[in-house]
Structure 1
Amino acid sequence: MPITQNQGSTAGGQTVTVTGTDLGGATAVNFGTKPAAITGNTAGSVSVITPTGAGVVGVTVVTPGGVGGPEPFFYLPPPVILSVSPGSGPVAGGSTITISGRYLASATTVQFGGSTVTPTVVSDQELTVVSPTGAASTVALAVVTLGGTASTAFRFVDPPTATGFSPLSGLPAGGTLVGITGTNLLTTTGVTFGAVPATFAVLSDTEIAAMAPAHAPGTVTITVTTTGGNDAAPGTFLYLL
């Protein structure tokens, strides 16, 4: 007497179907000691709305010919989101997002505002998902599981534009404080001088302060990377002889 979808929310309200033989005329379907509302019945199946519950309970079907079961039904607690990393991504989508929390193993979908994607379940504590496209804004990120739904915020960000920097040169030993200007810089995750990463601080959505790293004499390009993309500042930074 198998149950189609033998997991559900502790809050109940899920439609499930018990299949088998000689089920016609069922008078009751019980989840443990709680009766379920019967919504459909044939000789081969009984459809019901689950009652509230917790843990694992036995499902029994009462018919004029006797009692069938029990079959196990697993009540799942609602999911909990503890963190989303990164908490923002490009409007073009395609960013891999890690969602950490509890009770995530039965996740079926993740919603980014009005867009729905299918997650990869890593464990009961972790999901990964590839962000869809979206307009620059903050949207609700909702994880939908068989136990319920949990929501948090996710921000779609436009790609950055690096418009300039000052000073234009520094010593090969590094240590020059360089101010970088532009737009959409608030989610900056990295600044490089050539291929060398620099220590930086985000001052605002239009300004970054970066400490030039050590580098051989010559010119390099300064590139800013954010969760929305990356951009190279015009011109080059000169490491003096």
Structure 2
Amino acid sequence: MPPAISVVSPSQGPTTGGTPVTLIGSGLIGATAVRFGGTNAASYTVNSATQITAVTPAGSAGSVPVTVVSPTGTSNAVTFTYVAAAVPVVGTVSPSDGPTSGGTSVTITGNGFTGTTAVRFGGTNAASYTVNSATQITAVTPAGAPGATAVTVTTPGGTSALSPHGYFFYAAPPVLTSGDPGLGPASGGTVVTLLGRDLLNAGAVRFGTTNAASFTVDSANKITATAPAGAGTSEITVTTPGGTSNPVPFSYVAAPSLTELVPDHGPTHAATVTLTGLHLSTASAVKFSGVAAGFTVVSDTQATATVPAGAAGPVPVTVTTAGGTSNSLTYTRLAPPGL
């Protein structure tokens, strides 16, 4: 008896061929050919007397009879329908930017993704991809050069056309060259100017592991950031879609304090006093009732200052450093004795 076929599954596939199908029937042992219309299957395997798996050859859109040939004759025909595959369309790519080193997981949305055989970023294949559905693909970007690159999807229906939103932007890694000033009070609040390159689209500025209190991207070469509270030496970094920059140093300075003035009184004309306290090494000003005085830093705990001339009476004395302004101590100017 000739072989018989009752089922072909699936019963349709693209005109490009390559669809694996299962034929169910009887008397299939010894099959010498499986034909789709007048064309032999691309390949086939006789699994048992009741089952053959075959791969469709290319064909024209429409229905063709599927038959099995064996030494005992040719089977009845079952119908397989060739369907013209649609050209895929890329709608959006999200996220749309990432580092030139690659490795960004992106979601591609569109349609016609069934049977995808390639996802490319420019002329480079994706590092990997997964077809989630006919309308969505998850792909991992390969390494690329800075700039925009078109994302395309290839299926048996062809390769997608360029889409206005179907681009991925490779961002160069940010680089910092300086941060000024390089120190500030432990309480935070110092406005630091960061200079470098490829700083656009910065998503974070960090002082060590702490986010800046605020920051503004002024240009591709400049960011203005406000330091958070901190202690010790901290490394400032900038993170953009291109990655995280090299660090530049920032030192937190403890607030100064004054414990003693020697002497704590003197004439109404200029005089010299010694100030003793803590954290005085970065002193930028010594003031007597708000009037700046000449001064010399001797050590982190001592400075000398020239008291400016002034009217008799007590005046507050403060020291300002990178850590802030100290508490005040009182210096008293004494009027000269009357005649």
Alpha-carbon distance change, 11 to 163 in structure 1, aligned in 2, over 3 angstroms: same
Contact kept? 2:255, 2:323, Cα under 8 Å: yes
Correspondence 1:187 to 2:187: no
Contact kept? 2:257, 2:277, Cα under 8 Å: yes
Q: In terms of Rg, which structure is larger? A: 2
Alpha-carbon distance change, 62 to 231 in structure 1, aligned in 2, over 3 angstroms: same
Correspondence 1:92 to 2:184: no
Correspondence 1:221 to 2:324: no
Contact kept? 2:119, 2:154, Cα under 8 Å: no
- 1:28 matched residue in structure 2: 118
Contact kept? 1:164, 1:233, Cα under 8 Å: no
Residues 150-205 of structure 1: per-residue CA shift (max 9 Å, x gap): 2122222322112223454677675x554322111233333322222334444432
Contact kept? 2:254, 2:279, Cα under 8 Å: yes
Contact kept? 1:82, 1:101, Cα under 8 Å: yes
Alpha-carbon distance change, 232 to 28 in structure 1, aligned in 2, over 3 angstroms: same
Q: Output the CA distance in 2 between the equivalents of 1:216 and 1:28.
A: 86
* Alignment coverage as a number of residue pairs: 239
TM-score (normalizing by structure 1): 0.82
Alpha-carbon distance change, 164 to 27 in structure 1, aligned in 2, over 3 angstroms: farther
Equivalence map 1:46-195=2 (5 Å): 46-64=137-155, 65-68=157-160, 69=162, 71-117=166-212, 119-134=215-230, 136-150=231-245, 151-168=247-264, 176-195=271-290
Contact kept? 2:318, 2:329, Cα under 8 Å: no
SS at match of 2:330: coil
Alpha-carbon distance change, 106 to 218 in structure 1, aligned in 2, over 3 angstroms: same
Return the letter of the residue paired with 2:169. F
Q: Output the CA distance in 1 between the equivalents of 2:189 and 2:324.
A: 11
Percent identity of paired positions between Structure 1 and Structure 2: 38
Correspondence 1:19 to 2:19: no
Alpha-carbon distance change, 163 to 39 in structure 1, aligned in 2, over 3 angstroms: farther
SS at match of 1:232: coil
Deviation at 1:109, TM superposition (A): 0.9
Q: Output the CA distance in 1 between the equivalents of 2:279 and 2:318.
A: 14
Alpha-carbon distance change, 164 to 63 in structure 1, aligned in 2, over 3 angstroms: same
RMSD, aligned CA: 2.8
SS at match of 2:203: strand
Q: Output the CA distance in 1 between the equivalents of 2:309 and 2:240.
A: 49
Between the two structures, name the one with larger relative contact order (CA 8 Å, sep ≥ 6).
1
Return the letter of the residue paired with 1:164. E
Gaps of 5+ in 1: none
Q: Output the CA distance in 1 between the equivalents of 2:185 and 2:176.
A: 21
Contact kept? 2:126, 2:141, Cα under 8 Å: yes
Alpha-carbon distance change, 161 to 143 in structure 1, aligned in 2, over 3 angstroms: same
Q: Output the CA distance in 1 between the equivalents of 2:228 and 2:251.
A: 12
| 162-171 vs 188-197, which moves further | 162-171
Q: Output the CA distance in 1 between the equivalents of 2:222 and 2:332.
A: 42
Deviation at 1:50, TM superposition (A): 2.0
Residues 108-131 of structure 1: per-residue CA shift (max 9 Å, x gap): 112222322453212222222232
Q: Output the CA distance in 2 between the equivalents of 1:200 and 1:41.
A: 72
- 1:45 matched residue in structure 2: 136
TM-score (normalizing by structure 2): 0.61
| 152-161 vs 230-239, which moves further | 230-239
